[in-house]
Amino acid sequence: MKAWNKVGVVGAGTMGSGIAQIAAQAGCDVILVDSSAEALQRSREKLAKVFARLVEKGRIASDESESVQQRITRVTTLESLAPCDMVIEAIVEDLAIKTTLFQSLEGMVSEDAVLATNTSSLSVTALARGCTRPERVIGLHFFNPAPLMALVEVIPALQTEADLARHALAQMAAWGKSPALAKDTPGFIVNRVARPFYSEALRILEEGIASVEDIDASMRAQGFRMGPFELMDLIGHDVNYAVTSTVHAAFYGDSRYRPSHTQRQLVAANWLGRKRDRGFYTYEGGVRQGKEGQHVEGVAERILAMLMNEAADAVFWQVASPADIDTAMQKGVNYPKGLLAWADSWGIQELINILDSLRQRYGEERYKVSPLLRDMARQGRTFFN
Ligand code: NAI
């Protein structure tokens, strides 16, 4: 298959601008399209600032910075994408709008041009269905901020030709990214496996076991850069609650993914986090107020056990390989260790014991041990050697 040298990006918002930058830095010629001229202008100015800083810090030579920026052409019309080897879309998260875009693109690009989507919650398969040549459609899910987060989830649709998935993995590696192959299932890898980071923390809070500050401190003590509540405040409760609700609905209401009433109340109050200066914490001039928390025994272990169980279950359901899941959580959301390697170091039986005691106490389905872990414990296996 052809290397992706001429790359089209549709949508010049947060994600599209970042993806255009990555492709240009990898040496590709990039055509960045947005229906809004203002969005294109903003994207140009932002990138110029980013590169000015990189040059200042000596991270990139000034002529290299110039040539990277010159490799990006900005236009408001799709027709310019005709010569592209691949086009990736990062427009609004709406299946009908994305489908219309792909249909227009199919009328412009060559027969073998690849159409990729940066969707984080839609079915890549459903999007491919609207195309005349669905076998050329694939998901390439970047993480925010795209130039800094190495992970790209590569998600073949049911219809995607097998060679394209392999090719996309190789191309993303050539762009300097760390790709992980994921099945086209709700939340792919990261947005599925990370759910307990938020939901179990919310449960612990709701039960009055520990405070927001203490839960955050307990997770930071494990090496996480941010605790669950400060991270939810940063992401925005509207966004985080919507992702949880989407995953919950997509899994036919599986109680493991049930959204939290506490978070819904924050959304109802419009206490959306940092962007409103109020969420679980209050902020003044972007600075978090209040005291630091204390490590509380057992809190981090409970959240981690739930994360490890979710990761193991994703392996059980063939969503991705253990290595790709560990890569995804480290390179997409900065986890200090791969969850499955971490489970190995705890001992699989130890992990099962923690989950079983939660299951016994609460009697809830959400604490059910993944069958994979039971098999592994019985056979004395680990995820990695
Ligand atoms: P954004 O709102 O920052 O940017 C979207 C851009 O697309 C806007 O500039 C808008 O003018 C343009 N646009 C909308 N419809 C268009 C069309 N039909 N033709 C041309 N341009 C159009 O959105 P953001 O955050 O960059 O997200 C884009 C996509 O990436 C969404 O599918 C989102 O789910 C996904 N995503 C977002 C992440 C994030 O953290 N923001 C992370 C990973 C994926």
State residue 51's pLDDT score. 97
SS3 label, residue 6: strand
Tell me what the mean pLDDT of segment 271-279 comes to: 97
Give the class (CATH, top level) of 189-385: mainly alpha
Residue type, 280: F
Which residue in this structure is represented by tokens 């992990």?
351
In contact, 167 and 299? CB cutoff 8 Å: no
DSSP 129-190: HTSSSGGGEEEEEE-SSTTT--EEEEEE-TTS-HHHHHHHHHHHHHTT-EEEE--S-TTTTH
89 part of the active site:
no
Identify the CA nearest to 338 among candidates 357, 315, 317, 316. 315
91 Cα: distance to centroid of ligand 1 (angstroms): 3
Q: Whose CA is nearest to atom 21 of ligand 1?
A: 34
In contact, 17 and 3? CB cutoff 8 Å: no
Dihedral angle of Cα 199, 202, 208, 213, to the nearest 10 degrees? 130
191 part of the active site:
yes
Tell me what the mean pLDDT of segment 226-246 comes to: 96
Nearest atom (ligand 1) to Cα of 39: 9
Q: Is the CB of 11 under 6 A from ligand 1?
A: yes
State residue 385's pLDDT score. 86
In contact, 176 and 255? CB cutoff 8 Å: no
Give the separation between CA 39 and CA 202, rounded to whole angstroms.
Answer: 36
Which residue in this structure is represented by tokens 């269905």?
129
* Ramachandran assignment for 176, one of left (phi > 0), alpha (psi -120 to 50 degrees), beta (any other): left
Tell me what the mean pLDDT of segment 354-382 comes to: 97
Give the separation between CA 113 and CA 10, rounded to whole angstroms.
Answer: 15
Tell me what the mean pLDDT of segment 9-17 comes to: 97
Q: Measure the N-to-C terminal CA separation of the chain; round to a whole number of Å.
A: 35
What are the pLDDT digits (tens) for 48-106? 999 999 999 999 999 999 999 999 999 999 999 999 999 999 999 999 999 999 999 99
Please choose from 44, 87, 92, 235 the residue to mutate so as to test ligand 1's pocket, defined by most ligand atoms within 8 A of CB: 92
Give the separation between CA 161 and CA 46, rounded to whole angstroms.
Answer: 37
Percent of the chain with pLDDT over 90: 99
Chain centre distance of CA 57? 29
Which CATH number applies to 6-181: 3.30.450.30, 3.40.50.1240, 2.30.42.10, 3.40.50.720? 3.40.50.720
- Residues 6 or more apart in contact with residue 217 via CB below 8 angstroms: 227, 292, 293, 294, 295, 296
Strands 86-89 and 6-10: parallel
Q: What share of the chain is helix, strand, coil (3-state, %, to 5)?
A: 55, 10, 35
pLDDT category of residue 5 using cuts at 50, 70 and 90:
very high
Q: Is the CB of 117 under 6 A from ligand 1?
A: no
Q: In the β-sheet with 151-156, what is the strand arrangement from edge to edge?
A: 72-75, 29-33, 6-10, 86-89, 114-117, 137-142, 151-156, 178-181
Which residue in this structure is represented by tokens 């509380």?
296
Q: Whose CA is nearest to atom 16 of ligand 1?
A: 91
pLDDT category of residue 45 using cuts at 50, 70 and 90:
very high
In contact, 101 and 10? CB cutoff 8 Å: yes
186 Cα: distance to centroid of ligand 1 (angstroms): 19
The pTM (predicted TM-score) of the whole model is 0.96
Q: Whose CA is nearest to atom 4 of ligand 1?
A: 13
Secondary structure of 97-142 as H, E, C letters: HHHHHHHHHHCCCCCCCEEEECCCCCCHHHHHHCCCCHHHEEEEEE
The domain spans of the chain are 6-181, 189-385
